[in-house]
Amino acid sequence: MATKKATATRDRPSTGSGSSGTGSRGAANQRADALRNRAKILAGAVTAIRKNPDASVADIAAEAGVGRQTLYGHFRTRPELIDAALLESLERAEDVLSEISLDGDARDAFQRLVASSWVFVDQSRAVLAAAQKELSPARIRELHEKAEARMRGLLEHGQAEGAFRSDLPVSWLLTTTHVVLNGAAEEVRTGKLDPDDAPWFIDAILLPAFTHNAHSEQGR
């Protein structure tokens, strides 16, 4: 009798592995849905804020095509969402800028970096403005560390090889670069400057200002 019971137990089809497989697929689908929703929310945040710097959570959810409850499932507060949107914008820029060669003549490298950098400044400008209202200055500096370090390193290299003037501190050259890049982005936004011309306009201002000039240094 015991043998028959054991045989019956062995012959009984197992449903455990099938349930486990179904559960795994379900969990994977949920994760994929969550990632898609998160991406939609971040893209919606950028678009909504470009339209209206004071866009509310409801505005962003509507732009993303998700419900507010879904949005809050990913980001508990508007500042948290703004932080994530700015971080993603900067990471996307980093993927491109990190591939730019900064070897050779510092002036040529500067032109290559500016040609790509200003586009991302334009794309993230509205989100940055919103972030400056929501996040601490320390957090914003932290988010920009990689981009600033790249430009700082190039300017320092240019000063060391005599391509850029050394009578002004690199911090001032960085500040000037940021101001001109943002100015170009604003001119493009308002239709006063063609996007294709922006790099030339930026270089026309910055390169003469940064290029080594003996008269400038002697005149101090």
Is it the case that residue 26 has pLDDT exceeding 70? Answer: no
Are residues 160 and 118 part of one domain?
Answer: yes
Flag whether 64 is in a domain.
yes
- The predicted pLDDT at position 186 comes to 84
- Given a cut of 50, is residue 9 above it in pLDDT? no
The reported pLDDT for the residue numbered 78 is 95
Which pLDDT score is estimated for 188? 86
CB 120 within 8 A of CB 188: no
- Together in a domain, 139 and 62: no
Share the mean pLDDT of the chain. Answer: 84
Q: Do 69 and 102 sit in the same domain of this protein?
A: no
The residue range of the domain holding 48 is: 19-76
Q: Are residues 153 and 136 in the same domain?
A: yes
Instruction: Assess whether pLDDT exceeds 80 at residue 16.
Output: no
Do residues 121 and 175 share a domain?
A: yes
The CATH number linked to 41 is 1.10.10
Same domain, 142 and 216: yes
Domain annotation covers residue 29: yes
Higher-scoring residue by pLDDT: 213, 50: 50
Least confident range of 90-99, 127-136, 205-214: 205-214
Q: Average of pLDDT values for 1-22?
A: 51
- Say what the pLDDT of residue 185 is: 84
* Residue at 87 is within a domain: yes
pLDDT band at 27; cut points 50, 70, 90: low
Task: Please state which of the ranges 41-50, 104-113, 114-123, 141-150 shows the lowest mean pLDDT.
Answer: 114-123
CA distances, 204 to each of 62, 82, 170 (Å)? 42, 34, 19
Q: Is the pLDDT of residue 23 over 70?
A: no
Q: Examine the pLDDT at 8 and tell me if it is beyond 70.
A: no
84 in any annotated domain: yes
Quick one: pLDDT at residue 17?
52
Q: What percent of the chain has pLDDT over 70?
A: 82
Instruction: Give the whole-angstrom CA distance, residue 139 versus residue 161.
Output: 33
139 in a domain, yes or no? yes
For residue 7, tell me if it sits in a domain.
no
Domain boundary at 36, 59, 76, which?
76
| 60 and 71 assigned to the same domain | yes
The count of structural domains within the chain is: 2
Q: Please give the pLDDT value at position 18.
A: 55
If asked whether residues 71 and 94 sit together in one domain, one would say no
Does residue 216 have a pLDDT over 80?
Answer: no
CATH of the domain at 187: 1.10.357.10
**Does 69 map to a domain?**
yes
Tens digits of residue pLDDT in 160-173: 999 999 999 999 99
pLDDT at 218: 45
Tokens 């939609």 belong to 40
Structural domain includes residue 51 = yes
